[in-house]
Amino acid sequence: MAYQSKFPHGIMFHRFKDEKDKNSTKGTLTSKNLKRIINLIGRERILDPKEWIHKMHNGNLLNKHVCFTFDDGLKSQIKIALPILEKFNIKAFWFVHCKTLPNNFDKNEIFSLLIIKKFKNFKNFVYNFLNFIKINKDVFNSKKFNDYYNEEKKLYKFHSRLELKYKFLRDIYYSRKKFESTMEKFFKKYGIYVNKFYKNTWLDKKDLIKLDKKGHVIGLHSYSHPYRMKSLSEKEQKNEYTKNFKYLKSVLKKKPFAMSHPLDSYNHLSLKILRKLKIKCGFRSHTKTSKGSRINPSYLEFAREDPSNMLKFR
């Protein structure tokens, strides 16, 4: 069955792995997975970023059109996915944040890697983690959790209750600083030190320049990759996007003009800031919409499909 589409949208990629790697986080793809997705869609339907932008501004995007987007600036993307893209002559959007330095990196990405490395599956990890923090179980019976759970389930049906318990602790219950500190202490208990796993996780400046020269489009994904952008003040959000904008401009010697919302969190303030930065195109992280709303409500809110859903097609 060919992949069907009722509206133009992006395909959202994150982590990739070698075919032989049996231990990886949920949703991690192989080169074979990527080839299959391209064949499911049909190469002729996949627009390069500049063509996507051109058609978007001229009102010529069709329901069949899709584009490829890569979030978080991960090294595995350029190592495993890029050769496949080149085989099919596909250009993509690459959305990168700036929390990728040795003394200032996105620890959540490393946590995801270590969870599987140590515990083999997410269920084992969550049970051990909840036991470690000794949290009151009533937290997961609260209105706050139930509201969060229902909201996330509407958008991402594939998340289990255990996964959403973890995400709730990460995104809502703890501050980012407290959550990361707690996780580091948890892994230290097992003799695992998070800082040792930094190397070869993210794209560096040379990688970004290489992608740009090959005709790909590098765009914003915030400065520090906050867990809940919409919870930040206007000043904090402006700082996130302005610093990200200036960093990419300094590396690529041109102004970035595209973006994706980190962890799908944004609000009217985010959109206001992005418009002032003259961002031409933005993407969210799902294909759901509320009753009476358009699937692509603005040029900064294009829907994206998760490839894990696409791989269910036969």
Q: Look at phi and psi of residue 142 and say left if phi exceeds 0, alpha if psi is from -120 to 50, else beta.
A: beta
Check if the beta carbon of residue 240 is closer than 8 Å to that of residue 219: no
Which of 112, 95, 75 has its CA nearest to residue 11? Answer: 95
Written as one letter, the residue type at 128 is N
If you search the block for the tokens 């470690």, which residue do you land on?
Answer: 132
- Residue 74 makes CB contacts below 8 A (sequence gap 6+) with 14, 15, 16, 109, 201, 202, 203
The H-or-E segment that residue 105 falls in is strand 104-105
Written as one letter, the residue type at 184 is E
Check if the beta carbon of residue 75 is closer than 8 Å to that of residue 96: no
Which of 153, 90, 163, 82 has its CA nearest to residue 129? Answer: 163
152 forms bridges with which residues in the sheet? Answer: none
For helices 205-213 and 234-252, give the axis angle rounded to 10 degrees: 70
pLDDT at 291: 65
- Residue 313 makes CB contacts below 8 A (sequence gap 6+) with 1, 3, 40
Check if the beta carbon of residue 302 is closer than 8 Å to that of residue 284: yes
pLDDT at 3: 86
Distance CA 236, CA 213 (A): 32
In angstroms, what CA-CA distances link 248 with 12, 95, 140, 187, 230?
A: 21, 10, 40, 33, 23
Please write down the HEC assignment for all residues of 176-220. HHHHHHHHHHHHHCCCCCHHHHCCCCECCHHHHHHHHHCCCEEEE
What would the CATH number be for the domain defined by 9-102+202-310?
A: 3.20.20.370
Domain boundaries, the chain: 9-102+202-310, 107-197
pLDDT at 311: 81
In angstroms, what CA-CA distances link 281 with 236, 299, 313?
A: 21, 5, 28
pLDDT at 266: 96
Q: What share of the chain is helix, strand, coil (3-state, %, to 5)?
A: 50, 10, 40
Per-residue pLDDT of the chain (314 residues; tens, 9 = 90+): 678 889 999 999 999 998 877 666 667 999 999 999 999 999 999 999 999 999 999 999 999 999 999 999 999 999 999 999 999 999 999 999 999 988 889 999 999 989 988 988 889 999 999 999 998 889 999 999 999 999 888 877 778 898 999 999 999 999 999 999 999 999 999 999 999 998 889 999 999 999 999 999 999 999 999 999 999 999 999 999 999 999 999 999 999 999 999 999 999 999 999 999 999 999 999 998 866 689 999 999 999 999 988 887 55
pLDDT at 208: 98
